[in-house]
Structure 1
Amino acid sequence: MKILEEEDSKMFQNKRLVLTALFALVGAIILVACQPQVVTETVEVTRVVTETVVEEGQTVEVTRVVTETEEVVVEVTAEPEMAPVSKDLVVCMAQEPATLYPFGGSMLAQSAVMHAIWTDQYTTLSYAYQPVGVAKLPSLADGDAVVNIVEVNAGDTVLGADGEPVTLEEGVEVTNADGETVAFDGTPIMMEQMVVDFEIVARNWSDGEPVTSADYLYTYNVIADPDTPTSKFTVDRTAAYEATGDLSVRWTGIPGFKDATYFANAIPGGQQTFPEHAWSQYTAAELLEAEDVSRTPMGDGAFVVEEWVAGDSIRLVPNTNYYRASEGLPYLSSVTYKFIPDTNQMVAQLLSGQCDIGTQDGMDVGQSPFLIEAQNNGLLTPYFQTGTVYEHIDFGINSYGDYGDGVGRPDWFEDVRVRQAMTMCTDRQSMVDNILYGKSEVIHTYIPSVHPLYPDGLTEWPYDVEQANALLDEVGYVDSDGDGIREDSATGTPFKVTLGTTSGNEMRQQLTQIFKENMLQCGIDVELYYLPASEWFADGPDGPLFGRRFDLGEFAWLTGVEPSCNLYISSEITGPPEEGFGGWGAANDAGWSNADFDAVCNSALGSLPGTAEYEDNHKEAQRIFSQEVPVIPLFLRLKVAAARTNVVNFSVDPTQNSELYNIYELDLQ
């Protein structure tokens, strides 16, 4: 830990020298610009003078006022000339997109540019969805989404009871309309089927041609093509996708598929619409390589590509046929994306005004002190936003095979009081303060406190060493020999466990060191070990984490709009399917099983957003999870970006991946 701190100190000193020099340079420029200037001016000067004159033979003194013109040297402060505000935005990113074709890659830098070229169907701001390319998000309440009861017969494609699409034949198990799992015996079965209608916002392609439902159908067919490298999850669960008008489409799911995000299926499996009249000349495979698709794609967004200088920049100019042009959008005259892989150089160019925005792919939490210093000097506005990635430490509650659970070691974690005590012994706020500069937050379940489904009555375990030790005493793990480490009362085995995580990750090395020190306060000895990610995350039975052959394991999961209770249900426990487990590719590495949690989580997963069943069950699942603590939720990772102070309408959102989702309304003052 000391070595890490020394390295961090040296790194921060070097960065501070760079930024201090830049601060001094910027300050000097401002000082010179504001210095008084000595100039010579011709002015009229009024004086009161006394003269001796002769009047009527007598010499007398006369006082009078005279005005004279003379040159004088005066000191004036020159008022700086106000230059017109440039509307040319420069966005600095760490990476150059490999392509601008939506299915040619998945880089964050690619998304940042695509937001300018295309109109997305929806955004995902603040753990919710908002319509953009469609007039509204359909809902069960409004009637533009319905669940019908339909009859299914042999040969129909339906969703099997295991959640996979299947052709109905004898012996296949499905969930019927009453929610019962039944085996098909040739007799027709009644099942639920979703039908959702979408209205398309009227708009044009950049060449002036209108966007129509035909373009939506064309896009869907490209997505469904085997040569298009994208997930076919929704496509495989689509019974029909059809136009119902020039600006309307309808999606119908296969029987049994109740899609929790049905309102996002305006283009099943996609966000951007493709121009049929321009791209239908290509096969799905050719679209991946065609230069006019990958380098200068035709879109329906606010901007078009003017120039792409490989290795340097991409320049966009406004789309003259943009459907919101009458509103004065976009506000900018141009957008240039510059590629600057070096973080220090990016910060330097932000400070010097060569960049207006520095995106999250080129910034990191280690820059926080310098960004805050720049903000205090009025040079930049930093953005620190919690994202959708959270770190956590998992307990090896039920290990696999001959590892732990009374075989290789005492069954330390089966008693919930031990898990509760270790959670209270963990100073999570210290991790946030020391690793993330206090800019993140401690997390108490698998979604953050700002999520709309975060429940009242959730157990939020405090940092309380005294109470933690009292709980461990209650369990019977006491330090009988006075060496500072507790022992198992039954065997006398010292409470010594291991904590593993990935190697080469500075943040994880820091948090595991803090955890190790915390546990000593509660009489628990933790040995740390670090493995390459390829080994740590390998599927079982070989991988230690998902092979359930660990004491404590630290890693990250994703959260999002829908709470991920499915990660912790019993059917997701990793292990051989033939032994009743979820397979080695499953998610529940802790081996935790709770029937009450399973029931409410499965009910939530089987219901639809907007219903009481969906909301109530997701909330109750978290209450159970927070009380049982199968894992110690730690904190949310940060998205870090920065902008010049004259950039308007820029923001970073927790659930919208790219911060340039609203490029059409960014402005410069």
Structure 2
Amino acid sequence: MFHSKKWALIALLTLIGGILLAACAPPTEQVTVEVTRVVTETVEVEGEPVEVTVVVVETIVEEVQVTDEPEEVPPKDLIVCLSQEPDTLYPAGGSMLAASSVQSAIWTSQYQSLSYDYQPDGIVKMPSIADGDAVVNNVEVTGGEIVLDTGGNPVALEDGVEVFNVDRETIVFDGTPIMMPQMVVEFEIVPRQWADGEDVTSEDYLFTFGINSDPDTPSTKFTVDRTAAYEANGDLGITWTGIPGHLDSTYFTNAVPGGDGLRLYPEHLWNGFSAAELLEAEESSRLPVGDGAFRILDWVAGDSMILEPNEFYFRADEGLPYLDSLTFKFIPDTNQLIAQLLSGSCDIGTQDGLSASDSPFLIEAETNGLLVPYFQTGTVFEHIDFGIDSYGDFGDGVGRPDWFQDARVRQAMTMCTDRQSMVDNILYGRSEVIHTYIPSVHPLYPDGLTEYPYDVEAANALLDEVGYVDTDGDGIREDSITGVPFGVTLGTTVGNEMRQQLTQIFKENMLECGIDIELYYLPSSEWFADGPDGPLFGRRFDLGEFAWVSAVQPSCNLYLSSQITGPEDEGFGGWGAAGDTGWSNEAFDLQCNTALSSLPGTADYEDGHKEAQRIFSEEVPVIPLFLRLIVAAARPEVVNFGVDPTNGTELYNLYEIDLQQ
């Protein structure tokens, strides 16, 4: 029995082996072929045997091995649809979002700014005090040097100039040498090449700095003016030295001062042009050679721009970029842009062509598997400012009671504002209520921040406590001293649907708390005009609605006492300053100034920013409302695409965006 089982098992294994061999054998098919043979045979001719040669053609059926033909893989051609056509591709020539999107394909940025932090790209690392590639030296200044004065301005050091010494003491220069802090930062350049194969070197950085420093280059000179020296450190190194007194909290971004702060200029191609000529030259404005993942092949004005991979891209050995070609199409009409996304004529629709008002349609398209919408809270936040300390003969007991001087009134009005309703009804629930001048995802968002809920009952109780009550039963509170009804105006810009909606919601909310709001709308040029004529920055308003931009570094400087608008000779910050509310708080000033004069990574920097926000949220000089949305959309087959809150464009990583096939 044992032997019979053994032979049965062997037979089974043999059968299985045969099946497996058959399964693993190359595929075959039967074909009919003609086989021609030359045959020699003997035949009888008149009784005699004779050898003859004949050609015989036979038709037979044979088994032949089938060779699979490789499938032809279609090229990966990504089409990005922008609502605007760039006016120039020269990095120092403008600030259009559409231009920045294309520049991201052509150039390697020195760094990226993602999720409220910084990441190196064209430089090997972000320098830091901790690593020793950024240092603060104590230097002696004796007069004549460009230094930073106590007002934050670069000036020539001469008698009477006020500066901070190394101990942060205010010193009035009288010819006696002063010890001041000075930053020195070293940057290591990533080895790479221009799209024509020439090496990128420190000479390109020096050339770029020279162009950005030129008065004919229309870009910010803030960092340029605070640069004492900018020098090559070998072929792949740059050393930036700040002027004495300038402790730059974003020192690690100073690899390319001026311009757009990100992109480099090819010295070997542009050195024949002046700074003024580079604004218009085709080599810089229309067909620039960069050091990024792509290079321009053609630009058809009013229609499209076609790019191909840069064969010299420094990450080409990683298989980057993944795409075979990149096309930018210019489609100013939003409906047409969405239609082309749905038809597959566009793969990506960018934020300049889409808005929160498109959300319902994009969400429906996502439900049906047609598109992938991207909703990201950005860095722009809407807010309603209180006219706490007005200027001149407006308000504050002149023309109206001083409604907003008591912080409890501001707190009550904040609790009476249904900010979540604004988010739900205007931004389709895709944004978030904000409680300070940075969002909750910011790394410097503090514990212990006062976050006022929507609570009409608590708001009314607080207003009662202040003494503003409705004595005549008409639903509107009155000032207890003058008997004037609590009726104020709220102004903002005309022609902005979002702001019209939110101000209407606010007006309705305030009626629940016995406050009557009269709405008015002005052209932006009038609303935002400098004082004393402009109502907002002239501090001649009751309530004002507009937006500020939050940043990687919290913008506490917007609310410093030194920023209150008004004549400088009266002790204010000037009519070009930012402090429209007139709010002044010594404790806030101390914490904010401590943070601003400290470097990232230090306790003073972090603690100062966090404590300043705690004071701000308790005092509420403004009602922070919500973050604006960044909206973009892509076809489902687009991968590695996304929207970041702090990067200037969603196309920052075109080198790794891919198409599934």
**Same fold, judged at TM 0.5 (above):** yes
Partner residue of 1:520?
Answer: 511
Return the offset for 1:84. 3.5
Q: For 1:626, which of 597, 617, 631 is the aligned residue?
A: 617
Q: 2:385 matched to 1:399?
A: no
Q: Which runs of 4+ in 1 moved over 3 A?
A: 81-86
Residue from 116, 119, 123 that aligns with 1:130: 119
The separation in 1 between residues aligned to 2:560 and 2:569, in whole angstroms, is: 18
Asked if 1:322 corresponds to 2:313, the answer is: yes
Deviations 1:583-618 (A, max 9, x none): 111111000011100100010111111111100000
Q: State the one-letter code of the partner of 2:564.
A: I
Name the counterpart of 2:290: 299
Could you give the per-residue CA deviations for residues 183-233 of structure 1, whole angstroms, max 9, x where no partner exists?
111110000000000100000011111101111111111111111111111
Counterpart in 2 of 1:52?
none
| Partner of residue 571, structure 1 | 562
CA distance in 2 between counterparts of 1:651 and 1:467 reads 41
What is the Cα deviation at residue 86 of structure 1?
Answer: 4.0
1:611 is aligned to 2:602: yes
**2:104 counterpart of 1:115:** yes
Structure-2 residue corresponding to 1:7: none
How far apart, in 2, do the equivalents of 1:570 and 1:232 lie?
25
State the AA in 2 paired with 1:561: V
> 1:638 maps to which residue?
629
Distance in 2, Cα, partners of 1:539 & 1:218: 37
1:206-355 matches, within 5 Å, as: 206-269=195-258, 270-355=261-346
Distance 2:156 2:358 in 1: 54
> Does residue 667 of the first structure (1) align with residue 650 of the second (2)?
no
Q: Distance in 2 between matches of 1:276 and 1:541?
A: 46
Query: How far, CA to CA, are the matches of 1:372 and 1:616 in structure 2?
Result: 41
1:374 to 356, 365, 368: 365
Amino acid in the other structure paired with 2:654: I
CA distance in structure 2 between the partners assigned to 1:162 and 1:557 by the alignment: 23
Inter-partner Cα distance in structure 2 for 1:423 and 1:570: 22
Q: How does 1:53-202 map to 2 (within 5 A)?
A: 84-202=73-191
| Cα pair distance change 1:353/1:82, threshold 3 Å | farther
The amino acid across from 2:239 in the alignment is: R
Q: How far apart are residue 85 of structure 1 and its match?
A: 4.9
The size of the alignment, in residue pairs, is 589
| Aligned-pair CA distance for 1:98 | 1.1
Q: Distance in 2 between matches of 1:182 and 1:256?
A: 12
What do the CA deviations read for 1:476-523 (whole angstroms, capped 9, x no partner)? Answer: 101111110001111111101110111111110100000000000000
- Rounded to whole Å, the distance in 2 between the matches of 1:533 and 1:109 is 23
Measure, in 2, the Cα distance between the counterparts of 1:527 and 1:82: 69
Deviation string, structure 1 residues 25-48 (Cα, Å, up to 9, x no partner)? xxxxxxxxxxxxxxxxxxxxxxxx
Amino acid at match of 1:640: V
Question: What is the SS of the residue equivalent to 2:171?
Answer: strand
Q: Which ranges in structure 1 are unaligned for 5 or more consecutive residues? A: 1-80
**Distance in 2 separating the partners of 1:166 and 1:385:** 42
Q: Aligned pair 1:431/2:422, yes or no?
A: yes
Which residue does 1:3 correspond to in 2? none
Q: Distance in 2 between matches of 1:100 and 1:591?
A: 41
Tell me the distance in 1 between the aligned counterparts of 2:567 and 2:283: 48
Distance 1:243 1:360 in 2: 38
What amino acid sits opposite 1:376 in the alignment? T
Pick the aligned partner of 2:376 from 385, 390, 396.
385
The aligned amino acid for 1:222 is: I
Q: Which one has the largest radius of gyration?
A: 2
2:478: which partner in 1? Answer: 487
Instruction: Give CA-to-partner distance per residue, 1:247-305, whole Å, 9 cap, x none.
Output: 01100001000011100011112211111111101111111111122111111100000
SS in 2 for 1:281: coil
Kept in 2, the 8 Å contact 1:85–1:668? The answer is no
* Structure 2 equivalent of residue 447 of structure 1: 438
Secondary structure of the 2:478 match is coil
Residue 655 of structure 2 aligns to a residue in which SS? helix
> Using the alignment, how far apart are the partners of 1:550 and 1:610 within structure 2?
40
Q: Does 1:580 align with 2:571?
A: yes
Q: C-alpha distance in 1, partners of 2:185/2:100?
A: 27
Q: Which secondary structure does the structure 2 equivalent of 1:645 belong to?
A: coil
Q: Is the 8 A contact 1:465 1:521 kept in 2?
A: yes
TM-score, structure 2 length as denominator? 0.88
Q: Output aligned runs, 1:541-580, within 5 Å.
A: 541-580=532-571
2 CA distance for matches of 1:463 and 1:86? Answer: 54
* 1:551-597 CA-partner distances (Å, limit 9, x unpaired): 10000011010000000011111111111111111111000011100
**% identical aligned pairs:** 75
Please give the alpha-carbon distance, in whole angstroms, between the structure 2 residues aligned to 1:105 and 1:151.
Answer: 39
Q: What is the CA–CA distance in structure 2 between the aligned matches of 1:83 and 1:395, rounded to whole Å?
A: 65
**What is the DSSP-based 3-state SS (H/G/I as helix, E as strand, rest coil) of the residue aligned with 1:665?**
coil
Which stretches in structure 2 are left out of the alignment for 5+ residues?
Answer: 1-69
| Aligned: 1:650 with 2:615 | no
Identify which of 471, 476, 500 aligns with 2:462.
Answer: 471
Q: Do 1:388 and 1:560's aligned partners in 2 also have CA atoms closer than 8 Å?
A: yes
Structure 2 residue identity aligned to 1:339: F
